[in-house]
Amino acid sequence: MNRIFLALTFFAAAFSFAQERKIDGIVAVVGDEIITESDINDAENYARSEGQTITDKCSFVETMMKEKIILYKAKQDTLISVGKDEISREAESRLDGYRNYFGSDQNILTNFKFKTMAELRNILETMIKNQMYTQRKMSDVTKNVDVSPEYLKDFYKTHEAEFPYLNEEIEYAQIFLYPELTAEHKQELINQLNTIKKQIEEGASFADMAKRNSQDPGSAENGGLILNVRRGQMVKEFDAVAFGLDEGQISEPFETEFGYHIVYLEKKRGQIIDLRHILLMAVPNREEIRTAIKKLEDLKTEIKADKITFSQVALKYSNDKYTKYNGGLLSNQQTGDNRFEKIKLPTKILYNLSGLNKGDLSEVFEDKEGNRTVVKLLKITDVIAAHKMNLEIDYNRIKGFAQKTKENEIIEKWVESQIPTTFITIQDEYKKCNFSVDWLQTKTR
């Protein structure tokens, strides 16, 4: 299908993480936002890495100019604000995602070619700030856009030939339980942390002990160090303990959903602290996993006997906070609905759903969520046979495409309307491009 809505590419900001930056020529200036030759080259390289065929650089220049004019106007709009705290929280969330993927801060720095986490965080926060400004301006411009039934029908007729053939899809729900550690197992972890704490109090370095003992992949290599922690950034149990400490104080062992911790407060600056911590993960043993499996199998038996519904079990027992209030039903983040292409499901999920029909329950099985062991029970809630996308079966998806198309049309018109009152310059080489709008019609020069 053709590109039917204006996307936030931010090619340069994203792709430059893996590139050595250099000072180079300016391609264009939009307001006070600058596009450099490196930005264009990064966008081109990123597009190639995504399998796109590149004919010239003009399309990248124009896409970036559209993004820059939205960003520039957003920053001028006194009704649009982006707070430092929300930028910081989003940056930390993304860094946590990188840590989960790469395993350590050092691996992150190696992959993105930065010398320090502070340098990386600074670039990341700038990118996030620009994204937030741009997204909020676009939302403001399109806030009254709605798709009428007539528009949707016309859209479908116009694009019908472009809609793809879809493979078999399913909707499914899940219940998962974290195996509970026995009281004896929990006490073993607490005793380990108390022993470590005693060694530190007797002169051992907290950083050395964290490197040796901590099971936190994001901080262990750095001696358990986490900088610039803001109140509300960590899970509530961790937050309560860490912000209750005085500088130089070590906490007693405490539990969070990740395991058992001790925390050392290095520095406090109002609502921001620097700390070190040691984590011993709550890794269940085989007996604890078997106990969880038995519990979920007993609940499955009650579901099959109509003593309780799957949704009721999900609400009461599931540890999946994202689905338990929705009957366990999973959402597809890529499509925005609840349908998943069956052949693209994770191997273990696909294996446990194979041979099942609508309404059937899977066997209880062991799996992983993040880095944690869980036991799962699945239910197929719907099966959608392979078909060509159409309004009858795929109404919401097609409506979403139509909505994006209409929003894009509004944004394109709005961008063009802003050109005459925006300072814009373009390098001579790119003035020859066959742009979709006249970028040099500004009245301010």
Please indicate whether residue 294 or residue 56 has the higher confidence score (pLDDT).
294
Mean pLDDT of the chain: 89
Check pLDDT > 80 for residue 257: yes
Residue-wise DSSP of 65-77:
HHHHHHHHHHHH-
DSSP SS3 for 371: coil
If pLDDT is split at 50, 70 and 90, which confidence band does 382 have? very high
Residues 6+ apart with CB under 8 A from 123: 13, 16, 17, 114
Angle CA 222–209–192, to nearest 5: 130
- List the chain domain ranges: 11-76+142-153+393-431, 166-180+285-388, 183-281
What does residue 210 show for φ and ψ, rounded to 5 degrees? -65, -45
Equal CATH topology for 166-180+285-388 and 183-281: yes
Please indicate whether residue 58 or residue 23 has the higher confidence score (pLDDT).
58
Query: Could you tell me if 71 and 411 are in contact, meaning their C-beta atoms sit under 8 angstroms apart?
Result: no
Architecture of domain 183-281: Roll (3.10)
pLDDT in the model for residue 24: 61
Residues 6+ apart with CB under 8 A from 188: none
Alpha carbon 71 to its chain's center: 22
Please indicate whether residue 128 or residue 15 has the higher confidence score (pLDDT).
128
Side-chain half-sphere exposure of 370, counting CA atoms within 13 A:
15
Q: CA–CA separation, 243 vs 256, rounded Å?
A: 15
Q: What is the DSSP letter of 329?
A: B
Check pLDDT > 70 for residue 4: no
pTM given for the model: 0.72
If pLDDT is split at 50, 70 and 90, which confidence band does 7 have? very low
Architecture of domain 166-180+285-388: Roll (3.10)
Query: Could you tell me if 210 and 329 are in contact, meaning their C-beta atoms sit under 8 angstroms apart?
Result: no
Q: CA–CA separation, 189 vs 280, rounded Å?
A: 7
Check pLDDT > 50 for residue 207: yes
Instruction: Report, as an integer, the average pLDDT of 131-160.
Output: 94
User: Long-range contacts made by residues 349-358, C-beta under 8 angstroms, separation at least 24?
Assistant: 349/172, 349/378, 352/376, 352/378, 353/170, 353/172, 353/378, 353/380, 356/380, 357/383, 358/382, 358/383
Structure tokens at 42: 């990064």
Instruction: Report, as an integer, the average pLDDT of 146-167.
Output: 94
Q: How far is CA 133 from CA 79, 170, 421, in A?
A: 11, 37, 19
Instruction: Report, as an integer, the average pLDDT of 340-353.
Output: 96
